[in-house]
Structures are given as C-alpha cells and as structure tokens.
Amino acid sequence: MNLPQRTFVPGVAGSAAAGLMLLAGAFSAAGQSRGVPGATDPAPGTVFSDCDICPRVVVVPAGTFTMGSAASEQGRGDDEGPQHSVTISAPFAVGVYEMTFAEWDACARARGCGGYANRDDDDVSCSDGYEYTAPVGSFAPNAFGLYDVLGNVYEWTQDCWNGSYAGAPADGSAWQSGDCGRRVLRGGSWGFSWNNLRSANRSRDISDDRGNSVVGLRVARRLN
C-alpha cells in the first residue's frame, strides 16, 4: 500500500519515511470500517484509535525534509546517499508506539498478521535495565509524539532494498523497485551499535523473516 507515508519523522523507519509499515490485516480492516471521526482531518498531534484493540496512532503533519546523510557524518554508510529532498504532501497517522506483543497476538487471533503468534525470546543483553527490548514508551517521545523511533527494535518498511538513494522517490511513496526480496529496516535496535541509532541509517532483511528478535513494526494509515 502506498501511504501518504510516514513523513519527516527523524528515525522513523521507512524510505522517505515511506511505506511506514505493512498494516496487518485485522487492524487495516478495522480502520477502513471505523475511520477518523469528523468531517475534516484531525489536527497534527491528535491521538486516536480505530477500534478497542487497535494501536493508538498520532497525526503527523505534511512537510519537506532532507533524506540521507552528509558525507562527513560520523558512522555514515555508503547506502545513505545521495542526499535529496522529499516532500510529504498530506498529513497521515502513525503508531504512537511500535506494535506490541499483545497487539500482534490480538491481530493473529482475528486471523490477520499472517496468523503468526508471539513467541518467547531467550536473547538477553543491554544495560538499560531490560532484557532485550524495553517496554514501549519507556523513554521520551520525539517532537511528533512517537516513541522508540530509534533503538528498541528495527522497524520494517515497505521499501524494496536498493544500495543507494539513486532514483529514490521524492514524494514519500514506497520504493517498489530494486531487490524486493529484501525490505528496508530503519531505526536501529537494542542488539546493534550506536551508529545504527541514527535517523539516516538503513538496513535490510529478507521479506519473509519471521524469527528475528531485533525487528518489529509500526502501523500507519491514511486519514481519508
């Protein structure tokens, strides 16, 4: 799906803050049936939920930002350039938090999310007082009201993998060409070093990977 997609959220996973996440079936269906109350789009910063078990989302405004990192940025990877301007033409809503285990299990019970149920993880690390991932919202949000956009877990995006930004969309739409057997991950993770915890950092994984303890997702939706 091509969302008006994530927008210029520093560190929020996605190309051009693109394809913010693959909306899971049950939640997507709920959103289509409920919609956002009122005749006009809610103001930026408004938090709402489409159903009792749906993730809370916050409205992010339209805007323009520079995607990619400067050649002089410490920790930069070669896949983070060339820098280019991206314009998000319409506001959209994105998950306040990364999708939690409870939300995923509820989605699976509703026969969405590919039917994959939550599983325990034995990985233990970190010096923040938590075993592997921290509970969502443990740390301060960014200026858009989004928690954990850097760290905790990488976030899936809709973008196909490309080794640079050459030819990348400039309108915030998902990049649907390239190596689509692998999808872009953004935001860094508890299991990786500091240079991955930069908004420009890009990683990737095979698109059917369901057993990675350092990767999660965040939902997004159009307002209309």
Confidence of residue 199 (pLDDT cuts 50, 70, 90): very high
H helices of 42-113, in order, are 101-109
Q: How far apart are CA 47 and CA 210, in angstroms?
A: 29
Task: Read off the pLDDT of residues 21-68 as tens digits, 9 standing for 90 and up.
Answer: 333 222 333 333 344 444 578 999 999 999 888 899 999 999 999 999
Residue 1 has pLDDT above 70, yes or no: no
Domain assignment of residue 73, yes or no = yes
Domain span at 134: 15-221
| In a domain? residue 6 | no
Residue 127 confidence (pLDDT) above 50: yes
Whole-number pLDDT of residue 32? 39
* Cα–Cα distance measured from residue 89 to residue 149, given in angstroms and rounded to the nearest whole number: 22
Of 84-93, 127-136, 148-157, 208-217, minimum mean pLDDT range: 127-136
Helix 25-34 and helix 101-109, axial crossing angle in degrees, nearest 10: 80
Q: Is residue 9, in this structure, part of any structural domain at all?
A: no
Output the domain CATH number for residue 169.
3.90.1580.10
Listed residue (216, 223, 221) closest to 6, CA to CA: 221
Owner of token pair 């989302």: 57
Residue 140 lies in a domain: yes
Residue 5 falls inside a structural domain:
no
Cα–Cα distances (Å) from 182 to 19, 169, 185, in that order, read 14, 18, 9
> What CA–CA distances, in Å, run from 8 to 13, 142, 212?
10, 12, 27
| Peptide bond between residue 82 and the one before it cis (omega within 30 degrees of 0) | yes
Residue 17 binned pLDDT confidence (cut-offs 50, 70, 90): very low
Residue 56 CB neighbour total at 10 angstroms:
15
Instruction: Give CA separation, 26 vs 115, 130, 193, in Å.
Output: 10, 30, 35
Residue bearing the bigger pLDDT, 102 or 142: 142
Residue 52: per-residue pLDDT: 86
Q: Is residue 85 part of a domain?
A: yes
- Would 101 be classed as within a structural domain? yes
User: Averaged over 131-152, what is the pLDDT?
Assistant: 89
In a domain, 167, yes or no: yes
Domains contained in the chain, number: 1
175 confidence band (pLDDT: 50, 70, 90)? very high
What is residue 83's predicted lDDT score, i.e. its pLDDT?
97
Note the pLDDT of residue 116: 66
